[in-house]
Amino acid sequence: MSENIEKIAEVIKQADAILITAGAGMGVDSGLPDFRGKEGFWKAYPALEKHGISFEKMANPHWFDEKPLMAWAFYGHRFNLYKETVPHKGFEILKKWCMQKNDNYFVVTSNVDGHFQKASFANNRILEVHGSINFLQCTKPCCDDIWQVDFDCILIDEQKFEAQEPLPVCRNCGALARPNILMFGDWSWISYRTNQQEDNFGKWLKINRDNKIAIIEIGAGISVPTIRLTSEDIAQNYNACLIRINPTDNNVPKEHFSLTMRALEALIKIDEFL
């Protein structure tokens, strides 16, 4: 194991640029719940277990039409939790490595918590592929406007699992607002903010076309494989080496590396060699 970590450290040391690709496992060491499987989700939201509602069923925009108080209880709880949570030390370690590359880095994440921004990663070097809970849009939508959250928290009746009114509303038409997050079966998600981030990422890749890139993938599962596929695509088509950090789903293509660890433990051990 230590020999593997030493080789990984050498890859990072020799790299010209760092690409961080992060899934939900990145936040577990910060104390965020692991929604893997129905049991993990229901442990975080026992009120939904009574109704047999899974994460996939709950993360659907139709609840804002059918049960808006419950929809905002779910997303409001997540907003409150993400706002209160402090990113773990692994973010600081990654930022240090990026600074050693003269800030030649980019972050691609499926997380909607905004923790990379909270950990002082530059906003123009982050791609949030599923949007962000820190931004809102109209549920209709009446227009393509996206705006930053302007409230401190959402008050929730935990017993009823309902948000307390007044609920957030569209600043343009007054209809119910929703997080600017890509949900399942979501045809009303406004994507231009994420599209701009994708453009920034494309420009960064073009600049680093001939550079050595260390891809540090952390906590990206296989149920929604967007992050894993992005990592593997860059590893295949660029001068890049993939380092996959995952306690379970850690198979990698040949000539790349994996660590069967959670995020923080792995980052600390790699940093000891650097």
Q: What is the reported pLDDT for 223?
A: 83
As a whole number of angstroms, the longest Cα–Cα distance in the chain is 60
pTM: 0.96
Task: Tell me what the pLDDT averaged over the chain comes to.
Answer: 95
Determine whether 118 is exposed, middle or buried from the number of CB atoms within 10 Å of its CB (0-12, 13-18, 19+).
middle
Distance (Å, rounded) from C-alpha 128 to C-alpha 137?
Answer: 16
Tens-place pLDDT, residues 92-145: 999 999 999 999 999 999 999 999 999 999 999 999 999 999 999 999 999 999
Q: Which CATH class is domain 33-84+129-199?
A: alpha beta
Distance (Å, rounded) from C-alpha 129 to C-alpha 182?
Answer: 8
Residue 131 falls in which region: left (phi positive, over 0), alpha (psi -120 to 50) or beta: left
pLDDT (tens, 9 = 90+) of the chain, 274 residues, equals 677 999 999 999 999 999 999 999 999 999 998 776 667 788 889 889 888 999 999 999 999 999 999 999 999 999 999 999 999 999 999 999 999 999 999 999 999 999 999 999 999 999 999 999 999 999 999 999 999 999 999 999 988 999 999 999 999 999 999 999 999 999 999 999 999 999 999 999 999 999 999 999 999 988 889 999 999 999 999 999 999 999 998 899 889 999 999 999 999 999 999 9
Q: Which residues pair with 187 in a beta bridge?
A: none
Q: What is the reported pLDDT for 50?
A: 86
CATH architecture of residue range(s) 1-30+88-104+208-274: 3-Layer(aba) Sandwich (3.40)
Q: What is the reported pLDDT for 26?
A: 96
- Domain layout of the chain by residue ranges: 1-30+88-104+208-274, 33-84+129-199
**Helix residue ranges per DSSP H, the chain:** 2-14, 37-44, 46-49, 55-58, 63-66, 68-84, 89-100, 115-118, 192-207, 226-237, 263-273
